Structure 1
Amino acid sequence: MQTRLRGSHDSFSFWVDEKAPVGPDQKPVVKHLAVVFRLLAKKVMKKWSMTQTLTFKEQLEGGIRYFDLRVSSKPGEPGYEVYFIHGLFGHRVRDGLNEINTFLNSHPKEVVFLDFNHHYAMSIEHHMYLITMLQQIFGNKLCKCYSVEDITLDYLWENKYQVIVFYHHPLSEEHSHLWPGSNIPAPWANTTDAFKLIQFLETTLGERAKYGSFHVSQAILTPRVKTIARGLIKGLRNHLVERNLPTIMTWVEAQRPGVNGVNIITCDFVELVDFANIVINLNKLLLPNHAIT
């Protein structure tokens, strides 16, 4: 599939629960601070955990088609319910998937990628609960794992597939409708420097062809402890994202499609710029009347 897809980073984080315990994805020191400082610590965590402000429906309506998902159980809670998580717990996964499915029911030619790339505090029973949930909600919309090179929109439309689920867990090998995480590498720059990020994106794109897979370019900056300390009250959006976004988007606009080009691009706060249309316009370069250099 050569079409460029627009994606959101930590797609679910438009809402997090300040009243719930700190998630199991956090280090013990963070959990300790949250207990000691309670509401203050969680308010700060919220400012740095939320990477989106649009709901799933709003992101879909805005053109986002790739969703970056982290999930977890709530330790100590009976049953096998799973929730979205990024430092703090978000909505139930079931609610988010139903929202996406409602959109797909109204738009039968739209296709989404759901990338479940982090799982926390989940037993085999939790995984089976989630896998069964995916089958129940999406049913025949789920695209079976197939050769990446042969996945085209025509193929998806012909088979009425609308959902490709990537599941970064060994259980993916036992279920035909789950694609292994190895089919969608998403190299992470782990930097606060926009120029280092761009260098990293260029390097990893150059290595893409040899894997024969989908590829996610994470056009995101990651705060460090000192970054958070300096912008404690401002939060991720105001302190880090907004001032670096012009540099990042200049790089995105300059990309080209093709085997060595971009495939899926993710971004924080996708509504801050015309992100979806910028990526969509890259697809026009695949048309016969456009020269690709």
Structure 2
Amino acid sequence: PSSVQSGTSAVRHGSHDTMSYDLDINSAIIGPTILTKFGKIRWVRKIVKKWGTTQEVNVTEQLDAGVRFLDLRVAHKPDDPDPTRTYFYHGLYTVTDVESALRDINIWAENHSTEILILALSHFKGFNRTVHNHLISFIKGLFGQKLILKTDIPTLNRCWDLQRNVIVSYDADAEVRTHPELRGKIPYYYGDTMDPAKVKKQLSKDLKTAPSNKFFACGLNLTLPENASALKYILRWKSLFVVTLKNLPQLVMWVQRQAQITDLNIVASDFVTQANFISTIIQLNT
């Protein structure tokens, strides 16, 4: 992309539930709600892991492949003896804690100073003000002068001049108001269905009203129902990976067509190294 492109006009590739390659089979089940009471049964946890795993390579490998938007859903375990330790989660908690993963991301950002990263932290399950304060303090201390302030207009040239290359979106309004290093929630549009045709229809509708001067994400991910009807997919398909592999090529083709109709900003997907997803998004900027 041109060096004068603003942060909101270049199309970026993102990973949906970035850290879900690291789900802990020994974790409590956090969702879906209908399965939480079966958390002590290992085979139930195995099913949750198969369907909660949305990425197959680690966060450094995702960044190396071209991902620049990281969808980071964070939680504090209610029974954790450490009052401020946090993890990522998607159905299960991750093995890796948040601070360890952020250190890996920071190393990558330091070694690739011209690449702009967007870290979208959200959900904050089990958080209280103490946990928020600790995490924000850690983020500010870790990334330091690399953080692009919310008052900065994130054109590539401007970011390069300032030598800043990390944007942090933090989906908690009270915290965003008091920290200039944090930006508010980035809208994430998705189909909320396992049917790729319905995903495309919903995204086409949402993109018509998407903001032209702010970050927003368009998610190609398929989503299991929260109720018992999820069983028909779980019984039919071996895992989310298998069903995604079948449907992602048509969703990637849809993105190519859609880019000629509406503005795209961040396009996120499950299993980002599959179906030429990243190379297709890169071509949208040429």
Using structure 1 for the length normalisation, give the TM-score.
Answer: 0.89
Matched, 1:137 2:142: yes
1:57 maps to which residue?
60
Instruction: Please say if residues 4 and 257 of structure 1, whose CA atoms lie closer than 8 Å, have aligned partners that are also in contact.
Output: no
Distance 1:197 1:26, change over 3 A: closer
Query: Is the contact made by 1:187 and 1:217 (CA closer than 8 Å) also made in structure 2?
Result: yes
Residues 1:86 and 2:84 are matched in the alignment: no
What is the aligned partner in structure 2 of residue 267 from structure 1? Answer: 269
Cα pair 1:255 1:282 within 8 Å, conserved: no
Query: Could you say which residue in structure 2 is the equivalent of 1:289?
Result: none
Is the CA contact 1:228–1:235 (under 8 Å) kept in the aligned structure 2? Answer: no
1:1-150 matches, cutoff 5 A: 1=7, 2-23=9-30, 26-27=32-33, 29-35=34-40, 38-78=41-81, 79-90=83-94, 91-146=96-151, 150=153
Give me the whole-angstrom Cα distance separating, in 2, the residues matched to 1:277 and 1:136.
Answer: 34
Q: 1:171-213, CA deviations, whole angstroms, 9 ceiling, x for partnerless residues?
A: 11110000011xx211232111111111111111110146x31
Match of 2:3 in 1: none
Q: Which amino acid aligns with 1:281?
A: Q
- 1:75-134 CA deviation, whole Å, 9 max, x = no partner? 121221010011111120111111111111111111100001211001111111110110
Distance in 1 of aligned mates of 2:217 and 2:238: 28
1:103–1:119 Cα change, 3 Å: same
Q: Which residue of 2 aligns with 1:174?
A: 178
Residues 160-199 of structure 1 aligned to structure 2 (within 5 Å): 160-169=163-172, 170-181=174-185, 184-199=186-201
One-letter amino acid of the structure 2 residue matched with residue 61 of structure 1: D
What amino acid does structure 2 have at the position aligned with 1:283? N
- Secondary structure class of the residue paired with 2:214: coil
Distance 2:258 2:209 in 1: 15
Q: Deviations over 1:222-261 (max 9, x none)?
A: 01243444434711111x2122112101111223379x41
Q: Which amino acid aligns with 1:268?
A: D
Unaligned runs of 5+ residues in structure 2 are: 1-6
Offset at 1:20? Answer: 2.2
Question: How far apart, in 1, do the equivalents of 2:267 and 2:86 lie?
Answer: 27
Tell me, yes or no, if the aligned pair for 2:12 and 2:69 is still in contact at 8 Å.
Answer: yes
Q: Which amino acid aligns with 2:92?
A: L
Q: Is the 8 A contact 2:148 2:154 kept in 1?
A: no
What does residue 216 of structure 2 align with? Answer: 215
CA distance in 2 between counterparts of 1:161 and 1:274 reads 29
The one-letter amino acid paired with 1:3 is: A
Q: Secondary structure at the match of 2:188?
A: coil
- Counterpart position of 1:201: 203
What is the Cα deviation at residue 22 of structure 1?
Answer: 2.0
Check conservation: 2:195, 2:222, Cα contact below 8 A.
Answer: yes
Alpha-carbon distance between aligned partners in 1 of 2:215 and 2:52, rounded to the nearest angstrom: 27
Percentage identity across paired residues of the two chains: 30
Asked if the contact 1:257–1:263 (Cα under 8 Å) also holds between the matched residues in 2, the reply is no
Give 1:236's aligned residue.
240
Match of 2:240, as an amino acid? L
Amino acid in the other structure paired with 2:14:
G
**In structure 2, distance between residues paired with 1:120 and 1:227:** 23
TM-fit CA distance, 1:19: 1.1
Q: Is the 8 A contact 2:245 2:275 kept in 1?
A: no
Q: Find the aligned partners of 1:207 and 1:57 in 2 and give their Cα distance.
A: 33
Aligned residue-pair number: 273
Aligned partner of residue 18 in structure 1, secondary structure? coil
